Amino acid sequence: MKRHLISAGDLTRQDALLILDTADELARVSDRSIKKLPTLRGRTVVNLFFEDSTRTRISFEAAAKRLSADVINFSAKGSSVSKGESLKDTALTLQAMGADAVVIRHSASGAPHRLATWVDGSVVNAGDGTHEHPTQALLDAFTMRRRLGALDGRRITIVGDVLHSRVARSNVLLLNTLGAQVTLVAPPTLLPVTVDSWPCEVSYDLDAVLPKSDVIMMLRVQTERMNASYFPSAREYSRRYGLDRDRLAKMADDAIVMHPGPMNRGVEIAAEVADSARSTIVEQVANGVTIRMAVLYLLLGGETQ
């Protein structure tokens, strides 16, 4: 495995399977009443968050703590970033405090890549702009594998605001590496122009794809990244691309519903679908801790370094 985890595309099939298998082992620890392992004692993990987060930030913190690492949480709000301090100077300040791994979320695509040239430790991308969110893709693959078994030949449909979604890009790359067949479903306005070069199919007809899918992954409509009108109204969007009870009924019996969160209930996913037995949304959050433990464990090399 490489020293950093910046893109899901950097993972070979062997790397990806190693992370998933390690997470399987670590999941057993998460099921115990005492969840802590001494593996990363004496190592420091810095969580550097320039963009809001609930799940990713908390789960990286929980993952590092369960491995007994020291954790420094940095959030841009309330820091000297508001005085104009640059990413590079912020990174060098944290480096001076001795970071073995830096987990970064930033609104600029490419920020983790730049950071990796400035710090000595491992850099983990926790979401950069509209580019990538590799640990989300890993936790999604882990969740699918636990529910469905090996992903080779499985049909995964990702629906919604692909244009602004780093989750979609990382999932397409990783799922392709793992041998799954991915179909993106979105209005033409919410697909990136480069989508033809992605290793997946594209469809505009959710109802046609639903019955053939093993997984339906709904994406959040990311209004905070929209500077124009991409669809006529939320109601119209829901009608064509939302997952409601009627559409759920068209899915195969053992097919699952996923969403990375946070959800716009009633827009891309109906509340009753989000809360149904077919939904893995809460499971995805729990699996996020396990996957992030596996990533930190493998990047920091446990006790051997």
Q: Which residues bind ligand CP (CB under 6 A)?
A: 53-56, 127, 136, 260-262
Give the end-to-end CA distance of the chain in Å, rounded to a whole number.
Answer: 15
Which residue blocks in the chain are alpha helix, DSSP H? 13-30, 55-66, 87-96, 111-116, 134-148, 166-177, 206-209, 234-241, 245-249, 271-274, 281-300
Based on CB atoms, which residue is closest to ligand ASP, 44 or 170? Answer: 170
Q: One symbol per residue from 21 to 60: x for binding ligand ASP (CB under 6 A), - otherwise; what is it?
A: ----------------------------------------
By CB under 6 A, tell whether 166 contacts ligand ASP: yes
CB 249 within 8 A of CB 272: no
54 binds, among ligand CP, ligand ASP, none (CB under 5 to 8 A by kind): ligand CP
Based on CB atoms, which residue is closest to ligand CP, 247 or 259? Answer: 259
User: Which of 43, 66, 106, 133: binder of ligand ASP (CB under 6 A)?
Assistant: 133
Based on CB atoms, which residue is closest to ligand ASP, 73 or 107? Answer: 107
* Residue number of the CB atom closest to ligand ASP: 220
d(CA 127, CA 12): 20
Q: One symbol per residue from 174 to 213: x for binding ligand ASP (CB under 6 A), - otherwise; what is it?
A: ----------------------------------------
d(CA 145, CA 177): 14
Based on CB atoms, which residue is closest to ligand ASP, 127 or 134? Answer: 127
Measured between alpha carbons, how far is residue 139 from residues 67, 93, 255, 289 in Å? Answer: 18, 31, 18, 9
d(CA 98, CA 25): 29
Scan residues 214-233 and list those touching ligand ASP (CB under 6 A).
220, 222
d(CA 127, CA 112): 9
Based on CB atoms, which residue is closest to ligand ASP, 100 or 128? Answer: 128
By CB under 6 A, tell whether 127 contacts ligand ASP: yes
Q: CA 250 from chain center: how many Å?
A: 27
Instruction: Classify 179 in phi/psi space as left (phi over 0), alpha (psi -120 to 50) or beta.
Output: left
Based on CB atoms, which residue is closest to ligand ASP, 12 or 54? Answer: 54
User: Which of 134, 160, 260, 288: binder of ligand ASP (CB under 6 A)?
Assistant: 260
Number of residues that bind ligand ASP (CB under 6 A): 8
Longest Cα–Cα distance of the chain, Å, equals 56
Give the residue carrying structure tokens 């979320």.
Answer: 105
Kindly state the smallest distance separating residue 205's Cβ from ligand CP, in Å. 27
Residues that bind ligand ASP (CB under 6 A): 127, 133, 166-167, 220, 222, 260-261
